[in-house]
Amino acid sequence: MATATINGVIIAQSDDTVIVEGNHYFPPEAVMSEYFSNSDKSTVCPWKGTASYYDVTVDGETHSAAAWYYPEPKEAASHIRDRVAFWGAVTVTD
């Protein structure tokens, strides 16, 4: 089971992640939505498409753009549509 945490607080957990480029992509229902808010940030990957981001707030501390997802990925990345991956302050273990 893959688990994403910030300072020991679980923000996502699932045994149904997809690993792409070393990142676990969690299904949307595995994400603890109370910690997430939309971010204005977006980036473009040549083969996956445009990523949207979430800010993640735990214990009153906001981690800007700590999570991303692809709402409309290119065909090659369609298997990660809406799945959420993490970086920065987030620790992912499996």
Produce one character per residue of 45-78: b if its CB has 16 or more CB atoms within 10 Å, e if not: eeebbebbbbbbbbeeeebebbbbbbeebeeebe
Residue boundaries of the structural domains of the chain? 2-93
Do 29 and 16 touch, CB atoms closer than 8 A? no
Q: What is the pLDDT along the chain (94 residues), one digit of tens a residue?
A: 999 999 999 999 999 999 999 999 999 999 999 999 999 999 999 999 999 999 999 999 999 999 999 999 999 999 999 999 999 999 999 9
pTM: 0.96
Q: What are phi and psi of 79, to 5 degrees?
A: -70, -10
Q: Residue 59 region, left (φ>0) first, then alpha (ψ -120 to 50), else beta?
A: left
Task: Provide CATH code, domain 2-93.
Answer: 2.170.150.40
